[in-house]
């Protein structure tokens, strides 16, 4: 057994299924709610040069493969920008399917199935034998679809995508039984207009991009983060107690306060204000956002750089 596949023994599907998955040329992997690889068969490990025993994150796997020019072929000039956008869309729907090209010339048809607790099953099949013209057309279609729900500056989901996913999520929740605690925050960068006025829109854009990259690096795969417009953002944290959600926002505030958000203005620091509410099963998404907005205004009035939460 190769060094890259030792950790794949962690899969426990029963002896019969275990043998089949081990022998299969299809790629099979499981990521946990924090988007770390916890199980994979040899085909997946060898393609992406990873070992589940090390519990690498999906971001780490992609960065390593990109640096070594193996695994997925990423054509974007700004790899970190692409990575932030791709990470923001992972785990946002219960099931999705897409195609991906590999450095070795193969094309994969990949499906992602997400469990309610955030675990993700990844299954990929080699579809290289399909006509290249057909693959190219579908690749263009997928790119156009991604562009329709992605904010072009920051690469994170836009308002249209966030609202659609939130409404779908709420519709899919059981009408009976325990609803659970699900936190939603509306966030607004503090004094952002002054940044644009003092340093120009190029620096302002850099601040927005940096904020999004720092945020997407800190959230779970099941969380939903997107730009609502201007300097306003929404972060949805399913199955997250309110105190935990507030602590996560405060840790993000600390990370942002110490980060360089613009290479042109390395001394510039950024903060945000936020309103935090719990989703309600008997209310629509717009109701939750309006409540969070009111708390956001209170945070601004209380001096900014703080989180105000429903009690």
Neighbouring CB atoms inside 10 A of 239's CB total 15
Q: What residues are paired with 272 via a beta bridge? A: 189
**Which residue out of 9, 231, 250, 310 is catalytically annotated?**
231
Integer Cα distance of 82 and 209 in angstroms: 12
Integer Cα distance of 304 and 55 in angstroms: 38
Beta carbons within 8 Å of 56's beta carbon, 6+ residues apart: 36, 37, 50, 64
Is 289 in contact with 167 (CB distance < 8 Å)? Answer: no
How many alpha carbons lie under 13 Å from residue 38 in its C-beta half-sphere? 12
Is 112 an active-site residue?
A: no
Integer Cα distance of 195 and 201 in angstroms: 8
Q: Which residues are catalytic?
A: 231
């Amino acid at each position: 057994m190769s060094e890259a596949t030792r950790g794949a023994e962690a899969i426990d599907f029963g002896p019969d299924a275990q043998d089949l998955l081990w022998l299969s040329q299809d790629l099979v992997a499981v990521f946990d709610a924090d988007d770390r690889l916890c199980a994979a068969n040899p085909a997946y490990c060898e393609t992406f040069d990873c070992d589940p025993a090390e519990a690498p994150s999906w971001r780490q796997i992609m960065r390593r493969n990109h640096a070594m020019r193996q695994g997925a072929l990423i054509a974007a000039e700004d790899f970190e920008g692409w990575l932030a956008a791709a990470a923001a869309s992972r785990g946002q729907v219960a099931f999705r399917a897409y195609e991906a090209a590999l450095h070795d010339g193969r094309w994969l048809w990949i499906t992602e199935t997400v469990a309610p607790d955030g675990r993700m099953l990844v299954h990929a099949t080699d579809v290289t034998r399909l006509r290249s013209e057909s693959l190219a057309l579908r690749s263009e279609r997928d790119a156009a679809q991604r562009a329709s729900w992605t904010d072009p500056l920051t690469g994170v989901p836009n308002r249209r995508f966030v609202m659609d996913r939130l409404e779908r999520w709420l519709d899919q929740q059981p009408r009976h039984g325990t609803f659970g605690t699900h936190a939603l925050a509306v966030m607004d960068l503090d004094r952002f207009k002054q940044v644009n006025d003092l340093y120009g829109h190029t620096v302002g854009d850099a601040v927005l991009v940096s904020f999004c990259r720092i945020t997407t690096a800190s959230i779970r795969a099941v969380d939903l983060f997107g730009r609502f417009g201007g300097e306003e953002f929404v972060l949805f944290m399913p199955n997250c107690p309110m105190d935990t959600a507030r602590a996560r926002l405060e840790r993000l505030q600390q990370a942002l306060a110490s980060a360089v958000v613009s290479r042109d203005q390395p001394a510039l620091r950024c903060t945000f204000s936020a309103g935090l509410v719990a989703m309600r099963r008997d209310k629509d998404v717009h109701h939750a956002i309006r409540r969070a907005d009111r708390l956001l205004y209170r945070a601004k009035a209380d001096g900014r750089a703080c989180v105000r939460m429903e009690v």
